[in-house]
Structure 1
Amino acid sequence: MLKFLRSTATLVAVVIGIAGTALVLYAWRLPPFTSSVETTDNAYVRGQVTLISPQLNGYVAEVAVQDYQRVKTGQVLVRIDDRIYEQKLQQAKASLAAQKAALANSEQTRRSNDAKIKSSEAQVDSAQAALKAAEASWARIEPLLSRGVTTQKEADQARANLDQARAALSQAQAAVEVARQDWAATLVNRSSLEAAVQGAEAAVRLAEIDCQNTRIVAPQDGRLGEVGARVGQYVSAGTQLLAVVPEKIWVVANFKETQLPGMKVGQPVTLQVDALEHARLSGHIERFSPAAGSEFSVLKADNATGNFTKVAQRVPVRIAIDPDQNLVERLAPGMSVEVSVDTAAPAGTKGIAAGGGVALR
């Protein structure tokens, strides 16, 4: 009897030892329990959370939304008191009107200078004609004076008329040059006035943009986070007021580097979501991170000092969630996910995720 009990105890110990060894091998996925399915619970739902801030200073006049509300692109979220900015816009428009008036006056001055040039040129023609007449009169009187046919007084008068005609021609030619210089100065001043008008127009556009920026709108469709803006609150540029979470979401799974062999873009993925009572959804690998997560940390470990212990690094893998699944709309950024990838499956294959939907890619 004692011998039988000893044999039974030995058999139980052997069975327990075999079971423990099998359990350890299964837990560490060692032969004969190796599997092509790689799993990690270091995975989370991600999304493009957009923080909304004003571009200018002022008092909050209206908060048109509430926490967690769904919004559409262009929907007004918060309105800042715009009275100051409206007055600045009117001031900029008045300055623009003044600059345009100055430019119009310059155009009128240019036309007046054109007329002055033509008038001066006509005076030159008149002076030239008078000079020709005076020269002809002197040419007739000068020979007569030498022969005593005419008086000295008439000769002096003819000579004075000739000198006066020459002086009048010089004066008329100088007047033409002055008119042309005035015309050139007007053109130079016009360029300055045109630049001033462009500057005033830019000031008006900037004032209009400031007025538009008093209405803070949703940049895209999505749902709001907690709304931090309050009516009467004074805010400055960059103050965080609220956040918009767009509809587009994905999963980032941080696999150990030893799990990556065999993974390829397009392979089907099974997602088990904690917040949805461990419901399963389907997805596919979209892309791999260019570096391990430790390379993006602020404080990087220096393995060149002290004792070294090798630790498997984790590499982020972006996973796209397949559309047309019943529970996808309930996913939110930050939720925990357990991810399973069959590294033996070829990229682009179809598969069924239990309780979730069809993996279509």
Structure 2
Amino acid sequence: MLALASHITAQADPVRSSDVTNAGTRGFTFLQRALSCLEVEIENPKPATVTAIVILSSCLADLGKSSLSWVYDGIAARLTSALGCQVDSQSMVDQGLITQETYNLRANAFWTAYIEDKLAALYNGRMPSLGEEDYNLSLPKPSSAAQCGVPELTDLQAALISLGDICAEIIRSLSSNLPFATRLPWNGGPRQASPQVLAIHATFNTLSIIFHKSFLRRHCLDSAEGRICFEAALSTVKLAKTFDLTYTILKAPITMSQNLYIPGTVLTLIIADLFDQNDKWIEREQSQKALDDIMTLLFRLSSSWRCSLQAYQALKTMGENYVINRSTNPQPSGDFAGLELGQDFDIDSVLNFDWTTFDHMGGIANPNSG
């Protein structure tokens, strides 16, 4: 928790960053200590161990080790099985064998690992480890206090579980499945959205774009798929700017990097596509303004998360390739599905952190590496 908190602290130089210019090394001392405790902790795991490993995975992902992060997500999933957290033990509560608090802690550990498994699978392009057949827990129920507008843990869990489960039916299902407390307040009264709610909806937009972007062709805004991508991208910018005004973007979770990068790619493609469509000058201006906002937010977020800088650089290069040069090469491909393949969000190949200098049990071999 301290390692993760170091990424969003207002302190200019969090404790023992191995490289103050590399946000990925923030809180490295805490990360080192967590890894040194891990072997002993796994021998006698508790529900809190599962949650801690999921947090550890996020820190590893920001260091550029998305594959290693994925492995630790797998460890968390295995530990839920070892602890039996996936089994509904309400009958044991009824018999007085365990307390309701213990039941809740076990269930929370499982849903934490389950949600992380689904969202990390989307990010890494790998199959999730946990499926609906792997548990018999009852899904978290929206809280009875939901109408007051303050989401409780069960509200957030229910929303995130739905988000992970319905990728294939994303447009038809999510909006109607969200508990009231996790819906956006803009059309529902004066409620102020919590940071978790804003992040949930930004992830929803990312999924929507990924799901539809493969269908984009020339004159993409003339198609339903293009319009969905366009509106989702603009929505994400609004969400991120709301987050920034309310909580500051520097405190956004690591997932915000991906949630800004994906809309940035589709906006770049739309701008490139609109070079010869004078009737859509409004959409072009909207796209350019939104893309400028994304670039600004990513650059600022790079102070907290290193991967945001890589996303910023990838979008900058992509813009130079497909927008700036459009006037000299006004023949864009008819198939936009893989137009940005050369500028993928490939953390492992771009980040310059040298993981070989890190000793899992002994700490940092070279504290100046980065």
TM-score by length of structure 2 reads 0.16
Comparing both structures, which one devotes a greater share of its residues to strand?
1
Larger Rg: 1
Larger RCO, structure (CA 8 Å, separation 6 or more): 1
Comparing both structures, which one devotes a greater share of its residues to helix?
2
